[in-house]
Amino acid sequence: MSTTTTTLTPAPAGAAGPAPSKAAAPGEGRIGLRANLRHIGALARRNLLQIKKDPESMFDVLLMPVIFTLLFVYVFGGSVGSSLGGDRHDYVNYLIPGLMAMMGMNIAMAVGTGVNDDFRKGVMDRFRTMPIARSSVLIAKIVVELGRMMVATLILLVMGFALGMTLETSVLGLLAAVALSAVFGAAIMWIFILLGLSMKTAQAVQGMGMLVLMPLQFGSSIFAPTQTMPGWLQAFTNYNPLSNLADAVRGLMMGGPVASSVWGTLAWAAGITLVTAPLAVSKFRKKT
């Protein structure tokens, strides 16, 4: 039996050996605008396919405008309409623009619960291993929810016109009102994304969302004029961004001064986005 001995010869001093390869971290490096838009489009398509597979997720969008309109018009329309110096028809003209302002708030809650649910299922962990901008995942959510909001707004307007609402300004005024509602709705969605990333369960997101939504919605000019409210509540409604939005949408659709309320709404939307969007993206990166 023979034995073969192999001798390892050390490399000469100064010789460069093969450098160990270093894998780039997922998402490392700057992602261009075109690639970012492509990622957002792909992720938005994924979210739309989810809705297609689960059409029940559209029930809130399809039914909420109908239920809210019929409920408030036929329960409160007579009394509030008379306080406006008219009847139920006058209340329809008052209510529908207000509900347009509210629509984004209610639909925004679905963004937070959806993000929370995706993390629970591990979907977001998969996204974070991919070489895509972290913000694109969240922006795609907002894009799809804005589409759902537009469907709800269309149904709301159809209900309003069916109940006798009249557009006192122009189609351009109506489109401007819809666009303003969408801008503010997108800003509110960042708040709910942050809630969805911060809370442990979707039920907790819904519970916290209701605690935020109820005072803002009913302590505003959405459903009724604020002149008959107590002084302390009027002070709250004056600073409530939903009152600003409702007054702006009402002015754009029914006439009246709009400059102050429109600029106030845009300022609120910009401020909310500038504060909550970076926090949400940072939370998305760090969440375990």
pLDDT digits (tens, 9 = 90+) for 140-178: 889 999 999 999 999 999 999 999 899 999 999 999 999
* DSSP three-state, residue 148: helix
Give me 184's structure tokens: 């503010």
Q: What is residue 11's predicted lDDT score, i.e. its pLDDT?
A: 43
Give per-residue burial for 11-48: e unless 16+ CB within 10 Å, then b: eeeeeeeeeeeeeeeebeeebeeeebeebbeebbeebe
Q: What is residue 22's predicted lDDT score, i.e. its pLDDT?
A: 39
Say if residues 142 and 272 touch (Cβ distance below 8 Å): no
Q: What is residue 30's predicted lDDT score, i.e. its pLDDT?
A: 64
Say if residues 105 and 213 touch (Cβ distance below 8 Å): yes
**Average pLDDT of span 72-95:** 83
Q: What is residue 12's predicted lDDT score, i.e. its pLDDT?
A: 46
Which single residue is written with the structure tokens 């809650």?
109
Which single residue is written with the structure tokens 């093969």?
18
Residue 172's CB: how many other CB atoms inside 10 A? 9
Q: What global pTM score does this model have? A: 0.81
Give me 69's structure tokens: 């309109």
More confident residue, 100 or 4: 100
> Can you list the pairs that 117-126 forms with residues at least 24 positions away whose Cβ atoms lie under 8 Å?
117/202, 119/196, 119/197, 119/287, 120/201, 120/202, 124/284, 124/287
More confident residue, 197 or 128: 197
